[in-house]
Amino acid sequence: VQLQASGGGLVQPGGSLRLSCQVSGRVFAINGMGWYRQSPGKEREAVTVINSYGHASYIDSVKDRFTISRDNAKQMVYLQMNNLKPDDTGIYYCGVDMARTASEATSYFWGEGTQVTVSS
């Protein structure tokens, strides 16, 4: 099973980006999915997570600007980022809590990050 994130890039303040994360391979069950970021000089933080019922939570700094969504049939999670600010700069990682087989307990899997740079 692999997680592949994409959609990062360089954008001016106020711009938008949409990140995507594809879970490839055979998966038995997917629970929570989330986006995390590591900004320069800071530890990795959880930006937003969404559970299997579609309920999402966000850190205060991105509320009303970012939207997480998921497509269970496609095994994908998305992050729509609007009104981006320089403080949003960082490497964004997707993380998924899942079980690969019926006999396996769920564990957290990480994708490789995608760089988001917000600068004029």
Task: Render pLDDT for 47-78 as a digit per residue (tens, 0 to 9).
Answer: 999 999 999 999 999 999 999 999 999 999 99
Inform me whether the pLDDT recorded for 1 exceeds 90: no
Q: Are 13 and 100 in contact (CB under 8 A)?
A: no
What's the rounded mean pLDDT across residues 7-11?
Answer: 97
Q: What is the pLDDT of residues 15-47, one digit of tens each?
A: 999 999 999 998 999 999 999 999 989 999 999
Mean of the pLDDT values across residues 82-102? Answer: 96
Question: Is the predicted pLDDT of residue 96 greater than 90, yes or no?
Answer: yes
* Strands 90-99, 107-110: pairing kind: antiparallel
SS3 83: coil
